Amino acid sequence: MQNGQEPRKHTIAVLVENRFGVLSRVAGLFSARGYNIESLSVGETLDPTVSRMTLVVRGDEFVIEQVMKQLHKLIDVIKVTDLTDEDHVERELMLIRVNAEPQHRAEILRIADIFRAKVVDVAPLSFVLEATGDERKLEALLELLRPMGIQELVRTGKVAIARGPKTRTRKAEGRRAPRASEDPRVVGFAD
């Protein structure tokens, strides 16, 4: 079908039953229908019977509408939300092992500091940095580290959450839910 809309990235949150095989149902749907997943991350929610997936998908309005409908059609899918045009926060966690020659060590630490990245491993000739942020921030960090030589890189894929309402219409939750990026149970991949 013709549609004037340009393809763009959408961030879609999917609540699913925390059951064996759900991930392959979602992944299979994308491969069967020829949609592209840019990233996907999965983790348990506060309710251990429910998992939450965050998908980043590129497509025009028409493709995204179909993606949402097809996701919803899966029996194990409880809720599908497109966060793209909602007020939301997106984060991704990245681990980078970067060359750290003596003449570059101070520079790398300075960059890490500016980007609020943590050094989580120090070796004679390399650092491992842990960084979180949105896509633009992480890309900028990588750009600065590239000249030193990045040995290996791993990203969790994006996770996203809607912001709370700006007016005091709801009681605040007693306990703050851990941010997904801080949650050790979040696993995922990016390509």
Partner 1 sequence: MKLSGARILLECLKREGVDLIFGLPGGAVLPVYDALYDFQGIRHILVRQEAAAGHAAEGYARTTGRVGVCLVTSGPAATNLVTALQDAYMDSIPIVAFTGQVPTHLIGNDAFQEADNVGITRPCTKHNFLVKDTRELARVIREAFYIASTGRPGPVHVDLPKDILVKEAEFVWPEQVSLRSYNPTYDGHPGQIRKAARLLLRARRPVLYVGGGVISSDAHRELLELAELTQIPVTVTLMGLGAFPSEHPLCLDMLGMHGTYYANMAVHHSDLLVAVGARFDDRVTGKIEHFAPQAEIVHIDIDPSSISKNIKVHVPIVGDCRRVLRALVDAVREEGGEEGLAQAREARRPWLAQIAEWRQKHPLRYEWDDNVIKPQYVIQAISELTRGEAYIVTGVGQHQMWAAQYYRFKYPRHWCTSGGLGTMGYGLPCAMGVAAAHPGALVVNIDGDGSFVMNSQELATCYEENLPVKTVIINNGGHGMVRQWQEIIYRGRFIAIDLDRSPDFVKLAEAYGCVGIRATKPSEVVPALEKAFATPGPVVVDVVVDRWEFVFPMVPAGGANRDMILERPSRAVKEQAARSQTGF
Q: List residues binding partner 1 (CB under 8 A).
A: 1-2, 16-17, 20-21, 24-25, 28, 32, 62, 65-66, 69-70, 72-73, 75-78
Task: Give dist(CA 164, CA 172) in Å, integer.
Answer: 9
Kind plus residue range of the DSSP H or E element containing 144: helix 135-145
Measured from the CB atom, is 24 or 125 closer to partner 1?
24
> 166 has which bridge partners?
none
Task: Supply the minimum distance, in Å, between the C-beta of residue 93 and partner 1.
Answer: 28
State the Cα torsion 164-168-173-174 to the nearest 10°.
Answer: 140
Measured from the CB atom, is 25 or 104 closer to partner 1?
25
Task: Supply the minimum distance, in Å, between the C-beta of residue 14 and partner 1.
Answer: 11
Kind plus residue range of the DSSP H or E element containing 122: strand 118-123
**Max CA distance (Å), the chain:** 58
Task: Give dist(CA 162, CA 137) in Å, integer.
Answer: 19
Which SS3 state, helix, strand or coil, does residue 110 take?
helix
Measured from the CB atom, is 24 or 122 closer to partner 1?
24
Measured from the CB atom, is 2 or 103 closer to partner 1?
2
Task: Supply the minimum distance, in Å, between the C-beta of residue 2 and partner 1.
Answer: 8
Task: Supply the minimum distance, in Å, between the C-beta of residue 3 and partner 1.
Answer: 8
